[in-house]
Structure 1
Amino acid sequence: METSRQSLWSKNFAVFFLSSFCMSIGFQFLSPMLPLYATNVLGAPQSQIGYLIGGYSLAALVIRPYAGYAFDFMGRKKMYVIAMGMLAVISFFYPLSSTFFLLVLVRSLHGVCFGLTSTGSGAIVADILPFERRSEGIGYFGLAQTISSALGPALALSIMGDNQYKKLFLIASVLIVFAFAFSSMIALPKQVKPTRAINLKSLLEKRVYRVSALNMLVGVVNGTVMSYILIYSKEIGIVNGGVYFLGNSIGVAVTRLFTGKLVDKHGPKYVVTFGFISFIAGIIVLSMSTGLISYIIAAVLMGLGNGIIMPCLQAMTINIVEPENRGVASTTYYALTDIGVGGGAIILGMMTKYVSLRDMFLYNGLFLLIPLILFHIYVMNDYNRKLALITAQN
């Protein structure tokens, strides 16, 4: 029988979930729609759309090393509330972006704030959850993003109507204000400050490089999909391309029912392998899609893959460091993810001058074989060794 100490849905966890949900649905109102806004309203060429995702992710990358250090040394709640406040303020600048350059600039500033909040959330949720159920709890916490991914794009398209982008931007900003309000209600356990001095070694956690590098490679594909999925849906004749996000979210939601429990009980090896296989199959189906059914099947398969891979790798990252180093470990994990998402969106976006979006998605599917192979020959043994050391210390 579980003790109350092992309960997942404490008041803190519920409030933090609500904060994450409001922030995530605001994010989902913006991210899929900004490429359409850039091309349809601001007249940006398709080959430059990757700069929206790239600027956002690379700006987050710049701030993350300092964010992890600040969260560990200055207090996680204090830093998180400040970051959420900044995020809310900057969100109100989207309606003022009258040129593509200004849009990229605002998006990049938003990326700085996102770099702060996402780094902090990874450490905070680990502080709130009991160790024995951490993978399961992180999976449930990810439902905030799953639900917002399912609802956000469809609601955004409905709100936007006939190019009502400014109305959409305003509602997204208000949602992020609610996220800020909920974040101020969180109460965290007393935090032990690490003794390391601030330098390059203290800003990044080398023990999580291998796991984080896998998510960087996955991020290359996710950045490409996020940038071009709605444009691609129009190319293949799908009227409401937003159904991709619904199908993707269904796939992710299914994984939340079993992934965390399986990983906590049996380890990540076979679960993550299944995730990669599903993701690869999904993006290959996407590259071959000619109609709505195959498009939705691809979305569900990719959701299954992402819903397994990302929380598993995040939990693996947290599991191999001490509690006082979770902030910098999360920094390292997300920083490498930002490199993948941002770099992939920009570089592969430039490829659209020379290859079709259909071919680009196919190449992305083949590319995912690389992290799958590395997971088995380069990561798992290293992870098991480091996990044993941390477990022995406790």
Structure 2
Amino acid sequence: MVTRDEGATESGARLFGRSYLLANGVQLGISIVFISLMTYMALYAVRLFAVSETAAGFAASSFILGAAVVRMALGKFIDVIGRRRTLFIALTVFLLCSLLYPVALSYPALLGVRLLHGAAFGTASTAITAVAISLIPPARRSEGLGYFGLSATIATAVGPLVAVPMSLYLDPVWMFAFVGGCSLLTLICLALMRVPERSITAVERAGMWRIRGRDLIDPQALPIALVVLLCSGGYSMIMTYLTPFLVLEDRALAATVFFMIFAVVMMLVRLVAGRLQDTRGDNAVIPATILTFAGALVLLAVSQQWWAVVVSAVLAGIGFGGLLPCLQVVGVNRVSGDRVAIATSTHYLMLDGGIAIGPVVLGPLIALTGYPGLFLAGAVLAVVGVVVYWWVHGRGTATPRHGAGAQH
């Protein structure tokens, strides 16, 4: 039996129920902690342990590794354990990890905390997304997920604004107190939220510990998740290499301007992209957003002018801000209700994989082509993503978008 949120009316048209808004609060809290510490951690590791830049970078990215590993096995267990119970355990561990940093007094201890913290984040973000999907009326799923994604977008702007001044002017204990406070607020949101649960059949419970490939990655959601992998690989070129590129060009301020514009435009486009997808269809939105994102990378590669940085930030915000929630909707709509958690896990696994693997695979291009060649390679990944999208989904969207697989 599925408990119903007060926002799920008989017509199924109401979106902004209390529990949906609280789910957004949980997502916002964990995302602010994630982005803030990603911005803060490399410099913290260098100062505290005098490690190399590579080791400091791993201190930051090991969080993503922890999230990616747990997502691989998480999907099938969320509904077995229970969504509220999963969220409570994950958010409690998330809070404890936020408080453990001051006592992680060696580099290996810091990595251990980062890996555990990332695992808690991966669990919480996957579970809260599955909850949010259950709270969104199926006919407004693209719109609802677009609004839900605003939480992570806001965190993209808020995290660096908090972390950079704190890294420069305050003792680290204040940073960890801040992320601890954000983590505590997520638990308060959960306590006030009505969490829809899905009943587990006897067959599912009996097969709980039998791990098959489809228990880790949903085969129906995987084709569209490969598009996420490719596009997030291009996105990782911006997140990892834009700042050092502009600093080397003596334009550090341009990097700050880029990310501020990028975050604002992402917020704005997510207000309209989901509604457009719901009313006009997947093909009206997804190819255009991917190509717009590719255009942003090309512009970064071919021009070093201020106007190019500003325009590319706008294009990247439109493209990446629109494509992620829209692709997630396609992946969820391809599966039945009992597979939503695994489809969500598959989406985030590919997102994490692209961000983590992209710099490792394409980073060596810097020595051969410089940063412009790197950004062009990211654009190529995005264009390949359009081709994959059309092959696995776009050419077959004449069937109704909200069929049986979209129902919960």
TM norm structure 1: 0.89
Equivalent residue runs for 1:164-179 within 5 Å: 164-179=171-186
Classify 1:180/1:388 alpha carbon distance in 2 versus 1 (closer, same or farther; 3 Å).
closer
Distance 1:225 1:94 in 2: 28
Deviations 1:227-279 (A, max 9, x none): 33333332222334333321111221221221111111111113111111211
Corresponding letter in the other structure for 2:149 = G
Q: Is the 8 A contact 1:25 1:152 kept in 2?
A: yes
Corresponding letter in the other structure for 2:244 = I
Give the stretch that moved more between structures: 142-151 or 96-105.
Answer: 96-105
Aligned-partner SS, 2:39: coil
Aligned to 1:203: 216
Deviations 1:36-73 (A, max 9, x none): 44556655545556535653333222211332112121
Q: Is the 8 A contact 1:63 1:112 kept in 2?
A: yes
Corresponding letter in the other structure for 1:143 = L
Corresponding letter in the other structure for 1:300 = V
Distance 2:307 2:60 in 1: 28
Give the stretch that moved more between structures: 336-345 or 347-356.
Answer: 347-356
Aligned to 1:285: 299
> What is the CA distance between 1:378 and its match in structure 2?
2.7
Q: Is the 8 A contact 1:47 1:351 kept in 2?
A: no
Aligned-partner SS, 1:368: helix
Corresponding letter in the other structure for 2:362 = L
> What is the CA distance between 1:10 and its match in structure 2?
0.4
Deviations 1:303-333 (A, max 9, x none): 1111111000111111122222211111122
Deviations 1:155-210 (A, max 9, x none): 32233334744432331232122122212322123423254323213333211110
Q: Does 2:251 align with 1:238?
A: yes
Q: Does 2:372 align with 1:348?
A: no
Give the stretch that moved more between structures: 325-334 or 353-362.
Answer: 353-362
Q: Does 2:72 align with 1:65?
A: yes
Equivalent residue runs for 1:179-258 within 5 Å: 179-194=186-201, 195-196=203-204, 197=207, 198-200=210-212, 201-240=214-253, 241-258=255-272
Structure 1 unaligned blocks of 5 or more: none
Match of 2:281 among 250, 257, 267: 267
Aligned to 1:121: 128
Match of 1:326 among 340, 347, 350: 340
Q: Does 2:350 align with 1:336?
A: yes
Classify 1:146/1:312 alpha carbon distance in 2 versus 1 (closer, same or farther; 3 Å).
same
Aligned to 1:141: 148
Q: Is the 8 A contact 1:150 1:247 kept in 2?
A: no
Match of 1:363 among 377, 385, 388: 377
Give the stretch that moved more between structures: 333-342 or 323-332.
Answer: 333-342
Percentage of identical aligned residues: 24
> What is the CA distance between 1:94 and its match in structure 2?
3.3
Q: Is the 8 A contact 1:48 1:350 kept in 2?
A: no
Q: Is the 8 A contact 2:63 2:119 kept in 1?
A: yes
Give the stretch that moved more between structures: 218-227 or 276-285.
Answer: 218-227
Match of 2:100 among 93, 96, 112: 93
Classify 1:54/1:156 alpha carbon distance in 2 versus 1 (closer, same or farther; 3 Å).
closer
Classify 1:183/1:244 alpha carbon distance in 2 versus 1 (closer, same or farther; 3 Å).
farther
Give the stretch that moved more between structures: 270-279 or 330-339.
Answer: 330-339
Corresponding letter in the other structure for 1:248 = F
> What is the CA distance between 1:355 and its match in structure 2?
5.2
> What is the CA distance between 1:294 and its match in structure 2?
2.8
> What is the CA distance between 1:152 and its match in structure 2?
2.2
Aligned-partner SS, 1:246: helix
Q: Is the 8 A contact 2:94 2:117 kept in 1?
A: yes
Distance 1:32 1:233 in 2: 17
Distance 2:306 2:163 in 1: 20
Q: Is the 8 A contact 1:19 1:182 kept in 2?
A: yes
Q: Which has the higher contact order (CA 8 A, sep 6+)?
A: 1
Classify 1:238/1:37 alpha carbon distance in 2 versus 1 (closer, same or farther; 3 Å).
farther
Deviations 1:123-180 (A, max 9, x none): 1111111111111011111111122222221232233334744432331232122122
TM norm structure 2: 0.86
Equivalent residue runs for 1:6-25 within 5 Å: 6-25=13-32
Give the stretch that moved more between structures: 109-118 or 95-104.
Answer: 95-104
Corresponding letter in the other structure for 1:335 = L
Aligned to 1:317: 331
Give the stretch that moved more between structures: 33-42 or 5-14.
Answer: 33-42
Q: CA RMSD in A?
A: 2.8
Structure 2 unaligned blocks of 5 or more: 1-8
Classify 1:314/1:263 alpha carbon distance in 2 versus 1 (closer, same or farther; 3 Å).
same
Aligned to 2:168: 161
Classify 1:254/1:59 alpha carbon distance in 2 versus 1 (closer, same or farther; 3 Å).
same
> What is the CA distance between 1:337 and its match in structure 2?
2.2
Classify 1:40/1:221 alpha carbon distance in 2 versus 1 (closer, same or farther; 3 Å).
farther
Q: Is the 8 A contact 2:73 2:215 kept in 1?
A: no
Give the stretch that moved more between structures: 185-194 or 109-118.
Answer: 185-194
Classify 1:47/1:348 alpha carbon distance in 2 versus 1 (closer, same or farther; 3 Å).
farther
